[in-house]
Amino acid sequence: MRSNNSVKEKKGRPPWRDALEKLLQQNSDLRIIENPEKLEYYRQDLNVDLPPMIRDLMLKSLPNVVLQPATEAHLLEIFSIAREHKIPLTVRGAGTWGYGGAVPTRGGILIDLGLMDTVEVNPDALQVTVGPGARFLDISRELERHSLTLLSMTSGKGGTLIGWMATGGMGFGTYHHGPVRNQLISIRVITPDGVMKDIAAEDPEIKYFLSTEGQMGIMTKATLRVGPRPSQWYPFLIPFEEPAAAYAFAKRLSSHPSIKPEDLMIYHSELIHALKVQSNGRMSVEDKNFVLIAFTEDEQSRQFKAYLDEERIQRADEASAKSLWEERFLPMSIKHLGPSLLATEVILPLDQVASYYEKISGWGKRLGLTLYPTSHLINHREVLFLAMLATDHRKAIFYADLLLIPMMIRLAVQDYHGKPYVL
């Protein structure tokens, strides 16, 4: 991986290059990528594929080099060089976030944490300890070997768990088990001034490192509580003509004294339509708004069925419910409608979502854009609302679409009592 010609290029060579060469000589397991074609890959994450005008003229999204550390000691050394020579640093887990946090804006060194991917399961203590490169897919597989599972997780399994902690930490399981912070036992961080410390979940300082996108330092380790893997899921799909009715139902159910779903999500009709088209007939529901509810206990699912009958609430067929539940880790499979996807993520009060949605879909219609919204119920008062929109970064319209994202976040915060999900 190490380039042979890098040492020879004295002309135009940045002043920190000698320090870096020395570090690489002393640490044979610290890898460097500097081949221009390979560096191109790091200019984007899963969604952010910036048009040339932005990435070259307004920003410098191409890193000078990518370093792939294998140990915390490597990170301390990289920080030390960056501090001394004032080199911009960008931290990358798996690059799946979609908002560009792992993409440089001023060149410099990009730290790719992919090699630090350890997963250590302690089945007796029901705990897992992961490195910053460990992806959900690998962590889940390792836990499955012990019939265990993470208590909450994102719907994108290709990302790293620690990257998710840096970007919000809510998703499946949050309704039942709370945000990822509730499952944390401790984290280890390295701050830009070169201090490495372990922080317990109860320590108020932990909040500086969760949901702050790596701006306060790198999390190098996290230990979390895990739980037994459910032997079976019981998903239900309830249709509603209007989003407001779906959110009102979610609110009623979340206050029920004994029915406690493991998860509750709302899919707006536009997203249902797009997912149905590509389900190859597995989903045969109408283009309506749906509440997707899942239980892990047979008894709870029976009680829920009785509740629906009592309230005379229709539910969709079992095969459609099962299909949507099984596809829950593929919400971005609609990316082909783009080819780019942009998304707004905000935390909204449950009783504000429907009117917020009405407002933004009105904006979308005027611009000829379709929004594909979905919400995770977080608790009986709030949802994590995600609205994706399909766009094309190769066309001028991309700039207008891009502007819409901060406008939608501002609207949520100013007029609908919303909170931004991340910085």
Ligand X SMILES: Cc1cc2nc3c(=O)[nH]c(=O)nc-3n(C[C@H](O)[C@H](O)[C@H](O)COP(=O)(O)OP(=O)(O)OC[C@H]3O[C@@H](n4cnc5c(N)ncnc54)[C@H](O)[C@@H]3O)c2cc1C
Residues engaged in binding ligand X (CB under 6 A): 45-46, 91-98, 101-102, 113, 132, 154-156, 159-160, 162-164, 166-168, 170-171, 213-214, 218-219, 331-332
Cβ of residue 15: shortest distance to ligand X, in angstroms?
A: 25
Of 121 and 347, the one with the shorter C-beta distance to ligand X is 347
Start-end of H helices in 315-382: 318-326, 353-366
Give the integer Cα–Cα distance in Å for 375 and 391. 21
Minimum separation from the CB atom of position 160 to ligand X (A): 3
State the nearest-atom distance from the C-beta of 171 to ligand X, in Å: 3
Nearer to ligand X, 122 or 215 (CB): 215
> Which two structure tokens, joined as six digits, stand for 102?
């792992």
Q: In the complex, what is the shortest distance from the CB of residue 366 to ligand X, in angstroms, rounded to a whole number?
A: 28
Tokens describing residue 26:
């002393």
Please identify, using beta-carbon distances, which residue of 332 and 350 lies nearer to ligand X: 332
CB 117 within 8 A of CB 135: yes
Identify the CA nearest to 267 among candidates 211, 323, 308, 342: 323
Q: Which is nearer to ligand X, 214 or 364 (CB)?
A: 214
Nearer to ligand X, 43 or 315 (CB): 43
Closest approach of Cβ 79 to ligand X, in Å?
13
Nearer to ligand X, 208 or 233 (CB): 208
Q: Which of 168, 262, 151 is nearest to 214 (CA)?
A: 168
* Shortest Å, Cβ 307 to ligand X: 27
Nearest residue to 344 via CA among 376, 403, 385, 377: 385
Amino acid at 188: R
For residue 45, what are the CA distances in angstroms to 40, 95, 158? 11, 5, 12
> Over the range 59-82, which residues count as b (16 or more CB within 10 Å of their CB) and which as e?
bbbbbbbbbbbbebebbebbbebb
Q: Considering the complex, what minimum distance in angstroms separates the CB of residue 131 from ligand X?
A: 9
The set of residues, in sequence order, having a beta carbon less than 8 Å from that of 310 and lying 6+ positions away, is: none
Nearer to ligand X, 69 or 163 (CB): 163
